[in-house]
Structure formats: C-alpha cells, structure tokens
C-alpha cells in the first residue's frame, strides 16, 4: 500500500474518532436534564446587582453554564445550590484581554495586581476548578495569558506568589488527555521552576517564603518580611517537580523525567526530615534562624495535597487535629491555626489575618489533601464521616444574609464573613469547591492512562441518591449515580458508572470502582 493511501486511511480513522467524540459530547448528560437546574441561575441573576461585567454577563450566564459545566443532583439542597452558585461566580471572573482570556481573583481593581487586574496567588485553584469546563479554550488561554501574555513573556507579577501550576496543569491533562498543550507548556514550566530554585531555594535544598507571598499574611508562624521555611512552598515545589517529571515522560524525554524525579525525591526527604515536628506530630514552619515555629497551622496538611508523605506512621497522626476542638475543628469550618494556641485570633480583624479564621483558600487545600489521604493512604485517623462533616460546614459557610455568598474569610464561631460588606470581597475567586464535590465527595479520580476510578467519600447512610452527570473525560461523557433503592433513577440499585450513556461498572455498595479503557 502506498504512503499516500496509508495517510488517507489514517486521516479517515482520525476523522471517525473525532466524530465519535463529538457525538458523545453532543448527546449531553445521560440522566439529568440541564433545564432542571436553570432556576438556580434565574435566582442568582436577580438576587443582587451585577456589580461588574466581564466576558460573560449575568444575562448570558445560563447559556454559558448549559454549554460548559457538569451537572450535580443531591438530596441535600444546599450542596446542589452552592455547586451551581460556584460555577455562576467563577464565570464572572473570566475576562477578555488583548492577549486572550484571563481569570481574575477580585472583580474590583486592586493596586497590587498585574496587567488586566490579575493576581497569581490562586492560579492553582483556578486551574483545578476550571479544568471541568467543557470548552478548553478558556483555561488554555488563561494559562497562556499568565505565561506568554506579556509580549510573549510571563506576566511581570507571575512570581509574586507561590505556585503549584505545573501540578495543576498535569492534573488538568489527566482529565483532558491533551498531550500537545501540556508538552507545549513544558518550557514555560521549566523556566518557572528554575526561577524558584534561583530565588527561593536555600543551600540545604529547602525553599523559603514570606507568608504574605504565600497569600497568608499575619500568620502565627511568620511575618510579612520573614524568610521562613514553610510546608506550603516546599510541598508546591515537590508537586511541581513530580508533575514536570510526568510531563517529560509524556513528551518522551526520559532524562529530564529522571532529573525532576530526583529533585522531587530530595524535597520529599527534606520535608519529612526537617519540617516534621515529632513532638507536635505535625508538619510545621521552620524559622529563618532555625527551630520550629511551635504552632500547628493548616499549611501542615498541604503535603498530602500532593501525596508527598510516606504512607506510614507517624505522619497520619497530624490528621487527629481536624477532629479536635483544640486543633482545627470549629463550628463553621477548619481554622487556619490551632485553636488552642495562645495567640489564636489575636492579630485583630479584617486586615487579612491568617491567625485562625476560616479561609476558603485553605479549606479547599485541606479538603483536597484529606480526600487524597482517605483514598490513597492506609490510615485510621479520619474517615468518610469526617470528610462529609467538613464539606457540610463548607457548604453552610457559603451564605451571607440568607443568600449564597463566597468571600475572603470568616469567623470560625459565627460564620460571619469578615469582609462581607466590602465590595472587594464579593465573589472572591480564591478557592475550589466544585472540584471537591467531583473528586472528593463523588470520588471521580482522573487517571494518567485515561481509566476510570470512582471512590466516593459520601458515607453510605448519608444520602439515598445522588448523580454527577455531563462530565467530559477525554472526549467522553461520564455519569456517576448512586441509588440505594433503585427507585430514584429507575436504572438499578447501587452505584453505577456510565460512559456515553452505557453502563461500564456498578456495585451494590458505595465503594471503589475501576474501569480500564
């Protein structure tokens, strides 16, 4: 057969594969009906004024959501409402610029922002949350704006805050399967990693950061000008090194992959050897001049966000603090510093203190870490009921004056949003929520090889039914539903996984399911 004929046949095969994928997307959700959730958007659109319009105004929000988001249904109505509210608010932050789409953190202009009112602090959160949008152009361009939107170079203030972008982009790839975009970003990510090594790495291999550059000013462990060794940036750099190694493997560069695996291994060893306080049984900040800061903070859970700690004792003991009222357990969520500490909530109010109040930024990091702990580790410190309890508090906290609301931070005892009456705080795009519903509560875990893993963290006796539908996974539509009686959806009892409407796995119990593809 001639080369021309082979090329022609290959083109036909690719065309057919593309048509199959397009057909899957065109069919939409297998169980849920999009219009059944429009009432949430109608309510959001009329419940308050539209303070600032960007790329997608309120009057176009439902059409945009209908085309771009997964669907979620649950018997606990507030979970469902906040799920759609968070998509509605995320959409407000998509901004058109001369170099493509961008994503803001605040809607109002901030004096310390970059061009286009951009702030890099929550970029990792933006990627984790936005990766579920059906149209990839938004996130593709948002990332390119940060890395290439300054006359082909990175934005001037890209490095103003610690970053876990490489990790986030690799996790986005696991969902999308888009190798070309990932590989194209590799030089940018290598350049960024080198910047952090040149500017924040000490001779001993650990990384330092000023707490305000972690987005966590007025902390109990540091200060606005103190160069402490923090669990944050060291965990981020571990996650980024592992991600770059995996991206290098995808690109076929084994030598580069080995180099970054070695970097990751060295950071992992240093974190476990130097940042683990055996007396407090916690990962703690080490002061610039040496010695532990002697305070447990929520940043000590971040190593599990990247599956950094070894799966062995004593590390899981840290999680005993999330069920302890002297630790991080508070009426309206997990605090950012341990409640028993004598300096807890002593820094005053409303100047962005991280001395104990509840910050969604930290909550979403801790909940991602807890989901990893429950799914990937063998431990007995926390269970599914603890995860659900904290997700329930996270949902309940996202209301203000009786309406859905997401802002900067809140009082741990009253749930009062500490900047709730300030325009800057409204719609604060500084955390994830829907990613936690999808990967934690429902337990869909995208895999490197495109296989399907579902490991729900909902206690079996909590909900009689739920459904996650219209999830785009490598061009296919994924549906996951639980129906204890079989009467809700009429498709059988138990947990079910569908791809393009066809069942591929099921179980009578709310348990782990795996499907190779």
pLDDT digits (tens, 9 = 90+) for 81-120: 999 999 999 999 999 999 999 999 999 999 999 999 999 9
Rounded CA-CA distance 355/349 in Å is: 10
Give the model confidence (pLDDT) of 345-403 as tens digits.
999 999 999 999 999 999 999 999 999 999 999 999 999 999 999 999 999 999 999 99
What's the burial of 356, exposed, middle or buried (CB within 10 Å: 0-12/13-18/19+)? buried
Angle between helices 231-251 and 254-270 (to 10 degrees): 160
Mean pLDDT of 265-292: 98
Compute the average pLDDT of residues 414-436: 96
What's the Cα-to-Cα distance from 73 to each of 62, 87, 139, 375, rounded to whole Å?
17, 14, 25, 23
Region 231-260: mean pLDDT is 98
The whole-number pLDDT of residue 27 equals 75
Strands (E), 379-490: 399-400, 403-404, 452-454, 465-473, 476-483
CB 427 within 8 A of CB 448: no
Q: What is the pLDDT of residue 11?
A: 37
Torsional class of 501: left (φ above 0), alpha (ψ -120 to 50), beta (otherwise): left
Q: How many residues would you count in the chain?
A: 517
Q: Note the pLDDT of residue 223.
A: 87
Average pLDDT, the chain: 95
Q: Tell me: pLDDT of 26 over 90.
A: no
pLDDT at 8 over 50: no
Residue 22 scores a pLDDT above 80:
no
What is the pLDDT at residue 5? 34
Name the residue among 275, 300, 269 with its Cα closest to residue 290: 275
**What percent of the chain stands above pLDDT 90?**
94
In this predicted structure, the answer to whether residue 410 has a pLDDT above a threshold of 50 is yes
Is omega for the bond preceding 314 within 30 degrees of 0, making it cis? yes
pLDDT of residue 517: 87
pLDDT at 245 over 70: yes
pLDDT for res 360: 98
In 252-383, which residue ranges form alpha helices assigned H by DSSP? 254-270, 302-305, 360-376
Segment holding 128, helix H or strand E: helix 123-130
Q: What pLDDT was estimated at residue 13?
A: 36
Phi-psi region of 296 (alpha: psi -120 to 50; beta: other; left: phi over 0): beta
Which residues sit opposite 403 in a β-bridge? 400
Query: What average pLDDT score do residues 195-201 get?
Result: 98
The model carries a pTM of: 0.95
The CA–CA distances, whole Å, from 423 to 48, 188, 292, 420 equal 12, 35, 38, 8
Cα–Cα dist 103/92, whole Å: 9
């Amino acid at each position: 057969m001639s080369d021309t004929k082979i090329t022609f046949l290959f083109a036909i095969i690719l065309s057919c594969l593309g048509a199959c994928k397009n057909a899957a997307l065109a069919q939409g959700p297998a169980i849920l009906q999009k219009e059944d959730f429009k009432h949430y958007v109608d309510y959001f659109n009329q419940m308050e004024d539209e303070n600032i319009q960007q790329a997608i105004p309120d009057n176009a929000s439902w059409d945009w959501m209908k085309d771009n988001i997964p669907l979620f249904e649950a018997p606990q109505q507030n979970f469902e409402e906040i799920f759609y509210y968070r998509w509605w608010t995320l959409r407000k932050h998509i901004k058109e610029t001369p170099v493509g789409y961008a994503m803001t953190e605040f809607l109002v202009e901030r004096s310390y922002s970059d061009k286009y009112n951009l702030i890099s602090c929550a970029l990792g959160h933006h990627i984790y949350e936005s990766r579920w949008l059906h149209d990839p152009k938004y996130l593709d361009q948002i990332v390119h704006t940060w890395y290439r939107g300054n006359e082909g170079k990175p934005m001037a203030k890209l490095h103003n805050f610690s970053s876990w972008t490489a990790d986030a982009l690799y996790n986005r790839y696991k969902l999308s399967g888009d190798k070309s975009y990932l590989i194209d970003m590799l030089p940018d990510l290598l350049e960024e990693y080198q910047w952090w090594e040149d500017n924040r790495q000490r001779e001993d291999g650990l990384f330092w950061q000023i707490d305000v550059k972690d987005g966590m000013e007025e902390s109990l462990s540091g200060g606005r000008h103190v160069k402490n060794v923090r669990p944050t940036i060291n965990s981020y750099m571990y996650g980024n090194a592992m991600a770059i190694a995996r991206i290098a493997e995808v690109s076929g560069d084994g030598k580069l992959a080995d180099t970054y695996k070695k970097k990751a291994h060295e950071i992992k060893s240093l974190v476990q050897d130097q940042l683990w306080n055996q007396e407090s049984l916690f990962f703690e900040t080490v002061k610039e001049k040496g010695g532990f800061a002697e305070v447990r903070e929520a940043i000590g859970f971040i190593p599990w966000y990247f599956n950094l700690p070894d799966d062995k004792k004593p590390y899981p003991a840290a999680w005993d603090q999330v069920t302890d009222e002297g630790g991080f357990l508070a009426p309206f969520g997990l605090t950012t510093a341990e409640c028993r500490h004598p300096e807890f909530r002593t820094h005053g109010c409303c100047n962005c203190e991280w001395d104990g109040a509840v910050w969604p930024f930290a909550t979403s990091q801790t909940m991602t870490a807890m989901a990893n702990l429950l799914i990937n580790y063998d431990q007995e410190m926390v269970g599914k009921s603890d995860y659900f309890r904290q997700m329930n508090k996270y949902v309940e906290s996202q209301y203000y004056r009786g309406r859905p609301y997401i802002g900067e931070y809140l009082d741990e005892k009253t749930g009062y949003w500490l900047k709730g009456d300030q325009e800057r705080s409204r719609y604060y795009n500084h955390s994830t929520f829907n990613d936690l519903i999808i990967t934690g509560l429902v337990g869909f875990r995208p895999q490197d090889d495109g296989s399907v893993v579902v490991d729900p963290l909902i206690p079996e006796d909590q909900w009689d039914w739920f459904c996650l539908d219209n999830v785009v996974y490598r061009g296919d539509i994924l549906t996951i539903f639980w129906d204890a009686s079989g009467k809700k959806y009429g498709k059988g009892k138990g947990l079910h996984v569908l791809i393009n409407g066809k069942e591929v796995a099921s179980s009578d119990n709310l348990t782990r399911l795996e499907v190779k593809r």
